[in-house]
Amino acid sequence: MTSVSMLMTFVFAALVAGALLGIPRLLAPRRLTPVKAEPFECGKDPIAVSEGRFAIKFSTIAIFFILIDIELMFVWPWAVIYRRLGWFGFVEMMVFLAILMLGFLYIWRKGGLEWD
C-alpha cells in the first residue's frame, strides 16, 4: 500500500509541475524580439557560438583513448581471477597485450601522440 501513496505523490507532483509550466504557456503573452533571443541579455554582442570551437586533434585522442579503455575492460576481470586462470590466462593476456602494444607503438612512432 505504501507504493500506492508514493505513486499518488509522484502523480500529484507531476501535475503541479506540469501546471506551473503549462498554464503560463497558455495564458502569458509572448513577444519575442531578436534582443531577447540572444544568449545573454546584458547588452553585450555574442562573438562566438556558445559551445566554442574544438580542435580536430581531440577526436584522434579520443580514438586512441579507446585503445586503453577497451584494454582495461579485459584486463580488470582477468586480474580479479588471475590466480585461478593460471598459466593459460597469463599467456592469453600476454598475447592480447602484445597485439595491443603493437598498435600503441605504431601510434607513438607515427607521431599520433604529438600535439602539434
Site string for other proteins, 36-75 (x = CB under 8 A): ----------------------------------------
| 19 vs 94 by CB, closer to other proteins | 94
3-class DSSP string for the chain:
CHHHHHHHHHHHHHHHHHHHHHHHHHHCCCCCCHHHHCCCCCCCCCCCCCCCCCCCHHHHHHHHHHHHHHHHHHHHHHHHCHHHHHHHHHHHHHHHHHHHHHHHHHHHHCCCCCCC
Q: Is 84 in the site for other proteins (CB under 8 A)?
A: yes
Q: How far is the CB of 93 from other proteins (least distance, A)?
A: 13
Binding residue (CB under 8 A) for other proteins from 54, 58, 76, 88: 88
Contacts with other proteins, residue ranges (CB under 8 A): 81, 84-85, 88, 99, 102, 105-106, 109-110
